[in-house]
Homo-oligomer: A and B are copies of this chain.
Amino acid sequence: MNRFLPLLLLISGALCVAQSGSIPAPTNTPGQEYPRILPDHSLIFRIKAPDAQNVQVQMGKTYDMTKDADGVWSVTVPPQVVGFHYYSLVIDGATVSDPASMSFFGANKMSSGIEVPESDADAAYYTVQDVPHGEVRQFRYYSKVTETWRRAFVYTPPGYDNGVTRYPVLYLQHGGGEDEHGWVIQGKADIILDNLIAEKKAVPMIIVMDKGYAVAADKKPYVQAPGEPVDMNRAFSLLAFEKVMISDLIPAIDRSYRTIPDRDHRAMAGLSMGGAQTFYIVLNNLDKFAYLGGFSGVPGGNGGPVINTKTDFGGVLADADVFNKRMKLAWFGIGTEEPGTMSQGMQAFREAITKAGIKYVYYESPGTSHEWLTWRRDLKEFTPRLFKEIK
Contacts and interface: CB of A to CB of B under 8 A. Distances in A.
A131 to B, nearest CB: 10
Given A6-B176, A8-B235, A139 B135 contact: yes
25 contacts: A1-B229, A1-B305, A2-B302, A3-B302, A5-B230, A6-B108, A7-B177, A7-B273, A8-B239, A12-B223, A15-B215, A15-B219, A29-B110, A30-B213, A50-B92, A51-B54, A53-B53, A94-B96, A96-B99, A99-B109, A135-B138, A135-B139, A136-B137, A137-B137, A138-B184
A94 B29 contact: no
A7 to B, nearest CB: 6
A52 interface: yes
Given A4-B176, A8-B223, A95 B99 contact: yes
A41 to B, nearest CB: 24
Given A10-B108, A97-B97, A273 B4 contact: yes
Contacts of A49: 91-94
Interface string A29-66: 11100000000000000011111111100000000000
A15 B222 CA distance: 13
A35 B31 CA distance: 30
Nearest to A55: B94
Contacts of A221: 8, 11-12, 15
Contacts of A48: 93-94
A232 interface: yes
Contact of A235 (B4, B15, B177, B272): B4
Q: How many copies does the complex hold?
A: 2
B108 A30 contact: yes
Nearest to A130: B142
A303 interface: yes
Interface residues of A, number: 82
A12 to B, nearest CB: 6
Given A49-B92, A52-B93, A103-B103, 13 more contacts: A3-B273, A5-B230, A7-B176, A7-B177, A7-B239, A15-B221, A49-B93, A51-B93, A96-B97, A99-B110, A101-B110, A137-B138, A161-B161
Contacts of A108: 6-7, 10, 29-31
Contacts of A133: 140
A232 B29 CA distance: 25
A137 B94 CA distance: 37
A92 B209 CA distance: 40
A304 interface: yes
Contacts of A138: 135-137, 184, 190
A91 to B, nearest CB: 5
A161 B235 contact: no
